[in-house]
Amino acid sequence: MTAFYFICKKLKIFTLNMKLCAYLYLKMYTRQVSKLMHIEPKSVRMSRYRIKQKLDLDKEEDLNAFLHKLGN
């Protein structure tokens, strides 16, 4: 949980984005996440993009890999 605590405190990411980060950390696909969150897959992709912007990640960097690196 330290990875999520860091993201939440330092970057002021809101609850829905934290839930998305948790699902991504569990290596869930966009469609799975969209069904669980009751949103469109396009919204999941847009949220992922916005989170990457807040974390200052490049387009090439993988958000899932970044989250796993923080979690270990």
User: For the segment 1-39, what is each residue's pLDDT rounded down to a tens digit?
Assistant: 566 666 666 666 677 788 888 898 899 999 999 999 999
- Give the helix/strand (H/E) hosting 27: none
CA–CA–CA angle 10, 63, 52 (5° rounding): 55
DSSP-derived letter for residue 61 is S
Which of the pair, 67 or 14, is modelled with greater confidence? 67
pLDDT at 69: 83
Query: Which pTM value belongs to this model?
Result: 0.77
CA atoms of 20 and 67, how far apart (whole Å): 11
pLDDT of residue 32: 96
- Give the pLDDT confidence score for residue 43 in this predicted structure: 94
- Cβ-contact 25, 68 below 8 angstroms: yes
* Residues 6+ positions from 2 with CB-CB distance below 8 Å: 70, 71
